[in-house]
A and B are shown apart, each in its own frame.
Chain A
Amino acid sequence: MDAILAQLLNGLDKGGAYALIALGLTLVFGTLGVVNFAHGALFMLGAFCAVAFRQLITMETTTVDPGQLSPWGAPLEIKTPLAQTWFGDFGAVMIEYSVPLSIVLAIPVMLIIGIAMERGIIKHFYKRSHAEQILVTFGLAIVAQEVIKAIFGPNPISQPMPTSLRGAADVGLWLGMGPNVLTYPWWRLIYFVFSAAIIAAVFAFLRFTTFGMVVRAGMADRETVGLLGINIGHRFTIMFGLAAVVAGLAGVMYTPLVPPNYHLGMDFLVLSFVVVVVGGMGSLPGAVAAGFLLGILQSFASMAQVKGLIPGIDQIIIYLTAVIILLVRPRGLIGRRGMMES
């Protein structure tokens, strides 16, 4: 029982990342009708916002103190991070919590990147075929990851999580089990809660604001909304920016779990496309449900008992699910009837 529960929990944080990326992909597809192969790159750019933020606030000034001597007799060099010089103790706290704080940086940066991408390139591709959209966004993804590689180098840069969140939560205790039966790292728990909150926020935004209502109307029938005198293209651009922000935030918070390197986005992109397809192209609840479902499926497939039964299943389970879904039910789990169902 607790083994199953543990796998369920293990699947949740990865599922959260899948769900967030797939949500953004679906937003872009549902609003603009664009198949965005650069979406994984946006996730990666978000992760590197966190890296850049940390590098910025931990830039150090070195002062030589001739009064103090290091053990081998040279004058002691004292390194002070800039943030500490500027903000004092608050600076130290900033460095400690650099990952969650970099959300502040990531939101505007990702919004600008998203809008620039849409206005600069993608808007010219609405009328062109899906194959060409795939090609141009694939090219953009290469450019994005190479730029990051040129700036930050090819090696993964690990981002420490705040010390206070390093341990594991004793989830079993909350559920009335004995202590240490079922533990779960705090950061993963936070990631899950965070992704759930973002997903809720996006849905609430679409459901309860006028802007969201117009966007939903535009998704259903773009032409009519346009005829009513609403500049729907303008709003769709903002939705693209929003999708970029969602992907970016998913990336920021994921950095303590996996040290980001420049091809992080590509690794997630393939999976998140699979998630979108499984959920149903263009269906937002589908993307979220499929994200968590596949995350959990994957963690169950990597259980030793399951692997003993079918060797190698943990490596291919996601793709296998996608193949089966595509062949049996191409509109996905919750997809609209007739959506890309050819």
Chain B
Amino acid sequence: MNALLMSRRDAVTLAIFALVVLTMPVWLQPFGAAYPGLMQKFAIYAIFAIGFNILFGLTGYLSFGHAAFLGVGSYTAVWSFKLLTMDALPAIAFAIILSGLLAVVIGYLSLRRSGIYFSILTLAFAQMCYNLAYSVLTPITNGETSLQLNLRDPRIIDSALAPRPAGLPSAGLFGHTFTGLEGFYFCAAALLIAFFIAQKIFASPFGMMLRGIKSNQTRMNYTGFNTRPYALSAFVISGMYAGLAGALLAVTDPLAGAERMQWTASGEVVLMTILGGVGTLIGPVLGAWIIKYFENIFSAFNEQIVSRFFDFLPAGAHEVVTAVASKFVGEGWNLTLGLVFVLIVVFLPGGIMEGVRRIAHLFDKSRRAPKAPAKLSTQPAE
């Protein structure tokens, strides 16, 4: 990486991150998660979480309506597939533009208030989008049946270039259709670009400004800065990230349903970011991976597997432990997620990244003379 483009530390982080992402099919093998469908989700939700973190982590504005942008991204991408071409790039471009525009509108209005009012405003806008997608907008969103590709779609550009294939096409790049791991590598490339941009934002004066908004907006205002344009740009950028993630969801599976916009989906990205570590670069990615991994793997567990796992216990205890533990896996994995989340918020507000830092700090102290610990501030703004 060019030394002029970014600091050495950032370049190293990016290189390691790229290595980790690109070798996913290898190192996920022992975890039983190396199939394309899941790895694509890892990449996509990591993008979503990184984008959310640009808003929440840097400015401290807690949005509870980010899923709306994800949903709009998905719908736009599917419409681009239906009307124009199965190529992924225009779909992504349209999705980013449209979700960005929506973010300008919602952000402009919501950012007039802060704290809990901001959360409720974003929540209200997202619920409006969701309810409309289910009711009056059904000609566009296809309501409950979700928007899908159709044999009668015009697909203007594609049909002008080549004869129509039989059956439903799937998304691709420059006439080449994604098969096998290609879809994943496409998402991974998008993730790396998204991560790189986030790094640049974190290191830039703009990022500093956003951190200033988080730590003390009043003081920023008194210094003569008008903070609202900065906060709005952060909001729009994170909305575009969500749009990109939504478009990628549609690229990997050309189907868009309104439930993607529901506020539980917005809650999920909040969980990911908090779990990994708010305001850090890697944290949200880790959070997204962990949640998506356990959602897929944990929820596939059933009572037999649990029972086998506790085989070493004596007969009576075995039944009891199995019965209790099986409530936490399979269908009930959300319970585990909720509990872990509560514990994280109570004991480790900085998420996994703070935990890692604390452990690293312990080792550091035992090796060298004790230094004053760096103050880790993770307090979001009011």
**A-side interface residues toward B, CB under 8 Å?**
35, 121, 124, 128-132, 134-136, 138-143, 146-147, 149-150, 154, 266, 270, 273-274, 277, 281, 311-312, 314-316, 319-320, 322-323, 326-327, 330, 340, 342
- Inter-chain CA distance A129–B274, complex, in Å, is 14
| Chain A residue, CB-CB nearest to B121 | A326
**Nearest Cβ on chain B to A317's Cβ, whole angstroms:** 10
Q: Beyond A139-B342, A146-B332, A330-B113, is A322–B124 a contact (Cβ under 8 Å)?
A: yes
Which of B62, B64, B109, B341 contacts A323, CB < 8 Å? B109
**Nearest Cβ on chain A to B56's Cβ, whole angstroms:** 8
B342 and A273 contacting across the interface, CB-CB below 8 Å: no
B113 and A326 contacting across the interface, CB-CB below 8 Å: yes
**Nearest Cβ on chain A to B87's Cβ, whole angstroms:** 33
Which of A277, A311, A312, A315 contacts B120, CB < 8 Å? A277
Residues on B with beta carbons closer than 8 Å to the beta carbon of A330 = 113, 117
Q: Which residues from 132 to 179 on chain B have a C-beta closer than 8 Å to any C-beta of chain A?
A: 132, 134-137
- Inter-chain CA distance A330–B121, complex, in Å, is 11
16 pairs, CB–CB < 8 Å, chain A vs chain B: A121-B342, A134-B62, A134-B64, A142-B338, A146-B338, A147-B335, A149-B334, A150-B332, A270-B263, A315-B132, A323-B109, A326-B117, A326-B120, A327-B113, A342-B113, A342-B114
Residues on B with beta carbons closer than 8 Å to the beta carbon of A147 = 335
A146 and B335 contacting across the interface, CB-CB below 8 Å: yes
| Chain A residue, CB-CB nearest to B340 | A139
Which of B64, B117, B121, B380 contacts A129, CB < 8 Å? B380
Q: Beyond A142-B341, A149-B332, A342-B114, is A129–B120 a contact (Cβ under 8 Å)?
A: no
Chain B: interface size category: 35 or more
B132 and A273 contacting across the interface, CB-CB below 8 Å: no
B332 and A136 contacting across the interface, CB-CB below 8 Å: no
Residues on B with beta carbons closer than 8 Å to the beta carbon of A319 = 124-125, 127-128, 131
| Chain A residue, CB-CB nearest to B124 | A319
Q: Does B71 contact A (CB under 8 A)?
A: no
Residues on B with beta carbons closer than 8 Å to the beta carbon of A150 = 327, 331-332, 335
Q: Does B246 contact A (CB under 8 A)?
A: no
Q: Does B115 contact A (CB under 8 A)?
A: yes
A320 and B128 contacting across the interface, CB-CB below 8 Å: yes
A316 and B132 contacting across the interface, CB-CB below 8 Å: yes
Q: Beyond A130-B382, A142-B337, A146-B335, is A136–B117 a contact (Cβ under 8 Å)?
A: no
Residues on A with beta carbons closer than 8 Å to the beta carbon of B341 = 135, 138-139, 142
Q: Beyond A149-B331, A277-B117, is A327–B60 a contact (Cβ under 8 Å)?
A: no
Which of B60, B134, B346, B380 contacts A136, CB < 8 Å? B346
**Nearest Cβ on chain A to B171's Cβ, whole angstroms:** 31
| Chain B residue, CB-CB nearest to A320 | B128
Residues on A with beta carbons closer than 8 Å to the beta carbon of B270 = 135, 138
| Chain B residue, CB-CB nearest to A154 | B331
- Inter-chain CA distance A197–B263, complex, in Å, is 33
Which of B62, B64, B128 contacts A316, CB < 8 Å? B128
B115 and A143 contacting across the interface, CB-CB below 8 Å: no
Q: Beyond A143-B338, A330-B113, is A134–B119 a contact (Cβ under 8 Å)?
A: yes
A131 and B62 contacting across the interface, CB-CB below 8 Å: yes
- Inter-chain CA distance A150–B116, complex, in Å, is 31
Q: Beyond A143-B342, A342-B114, is A131–B380 a contact (Cβ under 8 Å)?
A: yes
Q: Does B379 contact A (CB under 8 A)?
A: yes
A312 and B135 contacting across the interface, CB-CB below 8 Å: yes
**Nearest Cβ on chain A to B274's Cβ, whole angstroms:** 6
Interface of chain A: mostly helix, strand, loop or mixed? helix
Q: Does B345 contact A (CB under 8 A)?
A: yes
A135 and B345 contacting across the interface, CB-CB below 8 Å: yes
| Chain A residue, CB-CB nearest to B135 | A315
Residues on B with beta carbons closer than 8 Å to the beta carbon of A135 = 62, 270, 274, 341, 345
Knowing that A134-B119, A150-B327 are A-B contacts, what are 13 other residue pairs whose CB atoms are under 8 Å apart, sorted by A's residue number?
A: A128-B379, A132-B380, A135-B345, A143-B335, A270-B124, A274-B124, A315-B134, A316-B128, A316-B132, A319-B127, A323-B109, A323-B124, A340-B117
Q: Does B267 contact A (CB under 8 A)?
A: yes
Residues on A with beta carbons closer than 8 Å to the beta carbon of B116 = 35, 130, 134, 281, 340
A139 and B115 contacting across the interface, CB-CB below 8 Å: no
Q: Which residues from 235 to 289 on chain B have a C-beta closer than 8 Å to any C-beta of chain A?
A: 263-264, 267, 270, 274
B113 and A121 contacting across the interface, CB-CB below 8 Å: no
- Inter-chain CA distance A131–B270, complex, in Å, is 11
Residues on B with beta carbons closer than 8 Å to the beta carbon of A327 = 109, 112-113, 121
- Inter-chain CA distance A330–B118, complex, in Å, is 11
- Inter-chain CA distance A132–B377, complex, in Å, is 13
Residues on B with beta carbons closer than 8 Å to the beta carbon of A340 = 115-117
Q: Does B349 contact A (CB under 8 A)?
A: yes
- Inter-chain CA distance A141–B342, complex, in Å, is 10
Residues on A with beta carbons closer than 8 Å to the beta carbon of B342 = 121, 136, 139-140, 143
**Nearest Cβ on chain A to B218's Cβ, whole angstroms:** 9
Residues on B with beta carbons closer than 8 Å to the beta carbon of A35 = 116
Q: Does B376 contact A (CB under 8 A)?
A: no
- Inter-chain CA distance A281–B327, complex, in Å, is 38
B136 and A311 contacting across the interface, CB-CB below 8 Å: yes
Q: Does B5 contact A (CB under 8 A)?
A: no
Which of B117, B123, B337, B349 contacts A270, CB < 8 Å? B123
Taking each of B117, B125, B132, which has the highest tally of chain A beta carbons within 10 Å of its own beta carbon?
B117
A130 and B115 contacting across the interface, CB-CB below 8 Å: yes
A342 and B136 contacting across the interface, CB-CB below 8 Å: no
Which of B113, B131, B380 contacts A315, CB < 8 Å? B131
- Inter-chain CA distance A149–B334, complex, in Å, is 10
**Nearest Cβ on chain B to A286's Cβ, whole angstroms:** 15
- Inter-chain CA distance A270–B381, complex, in Å, is 22
**Nearest Cβ on chain A to B102's Cβ, whole angstroms:** 14
- Inter-chain CA distance A274–B127, complex, in Å, is 11
| Chain B residue, CB-CB nearest to A307 | B136
- Inter-chain CA distance A340–B382, complex, in Å, is 10
A132 and B127 contacting across the interface, CB-CB below 8 Å: no
Which of A132, A312, A315, A322 contacts B345, CB < 8 Å? A132
**Nearest Cβ on chain A to B336's Cβ, whole angstroms:** 8
